[in-house]
């Protein structure tokens, strides 16, 4: 087996009043599509914010290619890109192109190279036609894809998405699922944190389940874990509830 | 699309739109400072020189007056105040107030200067993308010591992000307060509180979220410099602008002398 | 661990900057929000300036007002009534705008020096307002060639009642928002 990109090692984060997360262990390998599922308040967001050192653990640690993620923060955050849940409050730029360029500007990339990479990324994610638009005027789905473009432009090893399907209508969700799948097929490692697994469960290569106490209770193939989701406060996908196998539309 | 109309920028392809924002800023500063000394003729020349540019934006004198009406009123009051207070030979008198020729001249001149400065500012605002303003500010502040120009640039960017957001949220908060009959409260302090506190809480949380997202995207102050897109007519505009300023100074030797001697 | 220290200092620098940018926007929006009280509606702009002093401190507060004046001067419609430009800044009422700069500095410095309780907040804001009017009123007097009595009755007296209300509101707001900015 190849070396993992990320190793999460006995990670705990205690909150003064709340649950936090407790003794989390798992590894992330290149090319995986990991679904991190759990009810609201189970600590999904807390957990993924440790991955790029936005939060500091109470105990335990995370290693990126064998070194602690805190060793080189710029490298860590460039390698592990994060798309936040609220699409509106993560936009910095005044135009779509500028928004995508933000990360590269932070890395002090030469302007010509930035232009080239931004154009490439926008066309990869089908946003080229909106290049000069004000991000505030985009639809919910477009904003979500713009946020992904802003991360993708920095060539991350892993893209982490926090509740990417929240507040999206059906066509936008479909479009987003397609985008994520395409990236994964191209070799991009993906982690999606969500409380509703319906859209993506058949596409993920691995399913992690956090219970409402913040413990990692399951880690396995999605197909094998179907049927026991309700027990952990996660809604069973429709097809599984009805006793069917996975529908083909997602592939 | 409220955020697009909020700022006075009008998208377009006129010569002023294509002009490099640094040159435009420089010209605005140069002309505004020259106007400070300008006499009557210089003001007139300046207005005549500006008029084709005003027309190129599809504006007329009437538009200007309508857009600046609040400020014009202030100017008229100011001119009137000068007219009655500056000593000199009386032209006519209303009731007991004497209006002097010198006062009238001085008041009109000051009003004319301010009006022209406002017009120049408006031409600039109408033809400059807010994002370019940020780049220009950063560029001009770069040689100034002790001013972290990249931080200023980023603050302007963030301001451009927050401004429409907060304006919209202020409207929503007001609606929510009204829906709960908050506007019937008599106590004005509680009214300020019920309007402002939810707004601040929401926006501070949004701001914290944004700074987290920026951190996640490797925010650093050692950033790539902004890009500029010169349209190719910068030199013509600079020469014409400098010529205009020189001409205006020559025409207003008298008022220059008044200020320096 | 030195690495985590750099992480902390970087985010420490970023958060107050984002907050300061937020207050630039709040001060600008303050020019548009009017609350009808009595015959003269009160505008919340100067309240946000004083709040910036209380909540951001003297350094970031001053930076915030400086950027506000800069974007207003550059032509964004952020001055009272959605106006802008150098002309407005140096026009007859420009003293009230340029006065924000020392006002926020004084309020921020005093609040840091005195400590942060409701009563001291009020003292700091009264001092800030005094600085603001001590620049705005003489400026108005010069521009309109008024006598001192006229300048005070035009440029100070009509605002006092509204300012008292705003100060009272600002104290409550400062108390509630401060914990959010700290963490």
Which pTM was predicted?
0.86
- Tens digit of pLDDT for each residue in A41-74? 888 999 999 999 998 999 999 999 999 999 889 9
What is the reported pLDDT for C41? 67
Q: Which residues of A touch C13 (CB under 8 A)?
A: none
Q: What is the pLDDT of residue C1?
A: 32
Asked if B123 has any chain C CB less than 8 Å from its own CB, the reply is no
For β-strands B97-100 and B90-94, DSSP reports them as antiparallel
Hey, is B81 helix, strand or coil?
helix
Chain A residues in contact with B157 (beta carbon < 8 A): 92-94
Whether residues A73 and C6 touch (CB distance < 8 A) is answered with yes
Residues A188-213, mean pLDDT to the nearest whole number: 89
Q: Considering only CB atoms, which chain A residues are within 8 Å of C10?
A: 73
Under DSSP, is residue C75 helix (H, G, I), strand (E, B) or coil? coil
User: Which residues span the domain enclosing C30?
Assistant: 2-182
d(CA C127, CA C58): 14
What is the structure's pLDDT at A251? 45
Q: Does residue A96 fall inside a structural domain?
A: yes
CB contact under 8 A, C18 and B214: yes
A66 in a structural domain: no
Q: What is the pLDDT of residue A200?
A: 84
**Mean pLDDT (whole number) for A84-89:** 85
Helix (H, G, I), strand (E, B) or coil at A193: strand
What is the per-residue pLDDT across C40-78, written as a single tens digit (0 to 9) for each? 667 889 999 999 999 999 999 999 999 999 998 887 878
Q: Picking from A242-246, B224-228, C123-127, which range would have the lowest pLDDT averaged per residue?
A: A242-246
In this model, does residue C7 exceed pLDDT 60? no
Give the C-alpha separation, C96 to C135, whole Å. Answer: 7
Q: Do C83 and B70 make contact, defined as CB atoms within 8 angstroms?
A: yes
Instruction: Tell me the C-alpha distance between C15 and B221, whole Å.
Output: 13
Nearest-CB residue to A108 (from B206, B210, B222): B222
Residue A63 maps to a domain: no
Residue A106 is part of which domain span?
Answer: 34-49+74-250
Residue C13 at interface with chain A, using a CB cutoff of 8 Å: no
Whether pLDDT at A188 is above 80: yes
Q: What percent of chain C has pLDDT over 90?
A: 50
Which of A34, A24, A30 lies closest to A60, judged by CA?
Answer: A24
Q: For residue B134, what pLDDT is reported?
A: 87
Q: Which pLDDT belongs to residue A250?
A: 47
CB A65 within 8 A of CB A223: no
Q: In A, which residues are within 8 Å of B204 by CB distance?
A: none
Q: Is the dihedral of CA C155, C161, C167, C169 positive or negative?
A: negative
Mutate to test the interface with C, among A56, A57, A73 (most CBs of C within 10 A): A73
- Chains touching A (3+ CB pairs < 8 Å): B, C
Is residue A34 within 8 Å of residue A208, measured between CB atoms? yes
Q: What CATH number has the domain bearing residue C105?
A: 1.10.1760.20
> Residue ranges of chain B with pLDDT lower than 70?
1-8, 95, 182-186, 254-261
CB count within 10 Å of CB B202 equals 15
With beta carbons under 8 A apart, name residues in chain B contacting C173: 192-193, 196-197, 200
Residue C81 pLDDT exceeds 80: no
Contacts of A102 in chain B (CB under 8 A): 214, 217
Average pLDDT over chain A, rounded to an integer: 89
Instruction: Quote the pLDDT of residue C12.
Output: 61
Q: What is the pLDDT of residue B3?
A: 40
Could A54 and B216 be called an inter-chain contact, meaning their C-beta atoms sit closer than 8 Å? Answer: yes
Of A56, A57, A42, A49, which Cα lies nearest the Cα of A11?
A: A57
In sequence order, what are the residues at sequence separation of 6 or more whose Cβ sits closer than 8 angstroms to the Cβ of residue B237? B15, B19, B23, B27
Strand A59-64 to A189-194 pairing: unpaired
Question: From B217, which residue of chain A is nearest by alpha-carbon distance?
Answer: A103
Q: State whether C1 and A70 contact (CB < 8 Å).
A: yes
CA distance A119 to chain C (A): 28
Is pLDDT at C183 greater than 80 in this prediction? no
Residue whose structure tokens are 């300012």: C163
Whether the pLDDT of residue C3 is over 60: the answer is: no
pLDDT at C147 over 60: yes
Q: Residue B228: how many CA atoms within 13 Å on its side-chain side?
A: 20
- Three-state secondary structure readout of B107-140: HHHHHHHHHHHHHHHHHHHHHCCHHHHHHHHHHH
| Token pair listed for B51 | 């008029």
Q: Using beta carbons and an 8 Å cutoff, which residues of B are at the interface with A?
A: 1, 3-4, 129-131, 157-158, 160-161, 164-165, 206, 209-210, 212-220, 222-225, 227
Give the domain ranges of chain B: 20-128+230-260, 140-216
- pLDDT tens readout for residues B131-149: 888 889 899 998 888 888 8
Count up the domains in chain A and report the number: 1
Average pLDDT rounded to a whole number, residues A128-135: 88
Give yes or no for a contact between C110 and C127, defined as CB atoms under 8 angstroms apart: yes
Chain B CB contacts of C125 under 8 Å are: none
Which whole-number Å values give the CA distances from B212 to A90, A159, B215, B232, C178, in the listed order?
A: 8, 16, 5, 40, 19
pLDDT of residue C38: 58
C-beta atoms of A77 and B215 within 8 A:
yes
Does A39 map to a domain? yes
A73·C7 Cβ contact <8 A: yes
How far is Cα A216 from Cα A213, in angstroms, rounded to an integer? 9
Cα separation, A165 vs A169, whole angstroms: 8
Q: Which long-range contacts (CB under 8 A, 24 or more apart) does B229-237 make?
A: B229/B20, B230/B20, B230/B23, B231/B15, B231/B17, B231/B18, B231/B19, B231/B20, B232/B18, B233/B15, B233/B18, B233/B19, B234/B19, B234/B20, B234/B23, B237/B15, B237/B19, B237/B23, B237/B27
Question: A60: buried, middle or exposed (CB in 10 Å: 19+, 13-18, 0-12)?
Answer: middle
Q: Is the pLDDT of residue A246 over 70?
A: no
If one counts the domains in chain C, the total is: 1
Between CA B67 and CA B99 the distance in angstroms is 29
Provide the 10 A C-beta neighbour count for residue C154: 14
pLDDT confidence bin for C6, thresholds 50/70/90: very low
Chain C residue with minimum CA distance to A92: C18
């Amino acid at each position: 087996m190849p070396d993992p990109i990320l190793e999460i090692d006995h990670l705990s984060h205690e909150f003064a009043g709340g649950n936090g997360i407790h003794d989390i262990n798992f590894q992330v390998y290149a090319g995986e599509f990991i679904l991190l599922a759990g009810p609201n308040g189970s600590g999904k967001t807390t957990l993924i914010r440790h991955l790029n050192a936005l939060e500091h653990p109470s105990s335990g640690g995370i290693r990126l290619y064998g070194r602690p993620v805190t060793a080189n923060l710029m490298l860590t955050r460039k390698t592990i890109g994060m798309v936040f849940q609220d699409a509106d409050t993560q936009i910095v730029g005044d135009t779509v192109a500028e928004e995508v360029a933000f990360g590269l500007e932070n890395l002090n990339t030469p302007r010509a190279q930035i232009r080239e990479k931004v154009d490439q990324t926008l066309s990869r994610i089908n946003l080229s036609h909106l290049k000069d638009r004000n991000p505030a005027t985009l639809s919910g789905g477009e904003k979500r894809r713009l946020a992904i473009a802003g991360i993708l432009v920095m060539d991350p090893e892993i893209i982490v998405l926090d509740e990417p399907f929240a507040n999206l209508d059906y066509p936008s969700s479909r479009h987003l699922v397609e985008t994520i799948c395409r990236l994964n097929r191209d070799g991009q490692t993906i982690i999606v944190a969500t409380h509703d697994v319906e859209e993506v469960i058949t596409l993920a290569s691995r399913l992690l389940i956090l219970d409402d106490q913040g413990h990692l209770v399951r880690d396995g193939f999605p197909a094998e874990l179907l049927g026991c989701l309700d027990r952990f406060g996660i809604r069973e996908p429709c097809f599984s509830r009805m006793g069917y196998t996975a529908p083909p539309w997602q592939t | 699309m409220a955020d697009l109309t909020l700022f006075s920028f009008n998208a377009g392809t006129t010569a002023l739109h294509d002009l490099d924002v640094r040159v435009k800023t420089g010209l605005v500063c140069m002309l505004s400072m020259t106007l400070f000394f300008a006499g009557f003729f210089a003001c007139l020349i300046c207005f005549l020189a500006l008029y084709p540019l005003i027309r190129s934006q599809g504006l007329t004198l009437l538009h200007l007056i309508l857009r600046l009406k609040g400020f014009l009123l202030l100017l008229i009051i100011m001119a009137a105040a000068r007219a009655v207070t500056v000593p000199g030979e009386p032209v006519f008198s209303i009731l007991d107030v004497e209006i002097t020729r010198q006062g009238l001249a001085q008041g009109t001149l000051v009003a004319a200067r301010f009006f022209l400065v406002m017009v120049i500012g408006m031409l600039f605002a109408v033809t400059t993308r807010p994002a370019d303003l940020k780049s220009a500010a950063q560029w001009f502040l770069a040689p100034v010591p002790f001013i972290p120009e990249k931080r200023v640039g980023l603050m302007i960017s963030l301001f451009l992000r927050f401004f429409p957001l907060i304006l919209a949220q202020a409207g929503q908060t007001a609606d929510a307060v009204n829906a709960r009959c908050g506007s019937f409260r008599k106590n004005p302090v509680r009214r300020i509180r019920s309007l402002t506190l939810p707004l601040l809480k929401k926006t501070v949380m949004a701001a914290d979220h944004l700074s987290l997202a920026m951190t996640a995207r490797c925010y650093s102050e050692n950033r790539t410099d902004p890009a500029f897109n010169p349209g190719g007519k910068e030199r013509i505009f600079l020469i014409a602008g400098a010529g205009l300023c020189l001409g205006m100074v020559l025409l207003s030797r008298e008022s220059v002398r008044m200020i320096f001697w | 661990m030195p690495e985590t220290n750099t992480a902390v200092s970087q985010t420490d620098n970023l958060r107050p900057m984002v907050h300061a940018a937020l207050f630039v926007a709040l001060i600008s929006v303050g020019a548009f929000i009017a609350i009808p009280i009595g015959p003269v509606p009160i505008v919340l702009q100067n309240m946000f300036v004083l709040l910036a002093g209380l909540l951001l401190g003297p350094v970031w507060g001053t930076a915030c007002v400086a950027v506000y004046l800069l974007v207003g001067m550059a032509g964004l419609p952020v001055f009272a009534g959605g106006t802008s430009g150098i002309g407005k800044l140096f026009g007859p009422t420009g003293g009230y705008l340029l006065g924000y700069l020392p006002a926020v500095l004084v309020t921020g410095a005093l609040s840091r020096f005195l400590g942060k309780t409701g009563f001291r907040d009020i003292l700091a804001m009264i001092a800030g307002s005094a600085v603001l009017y001590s620049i705005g009123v003489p400026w108005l007097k010069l521009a309109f060639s008024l006598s001192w009595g006229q300048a005070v009755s035009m440029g100070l007296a009509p605002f006092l009642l509204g300012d008292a209300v705003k100060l009272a509101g600002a104290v409550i707001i400062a108390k509630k928002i401060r914990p959010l900015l700290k963490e």
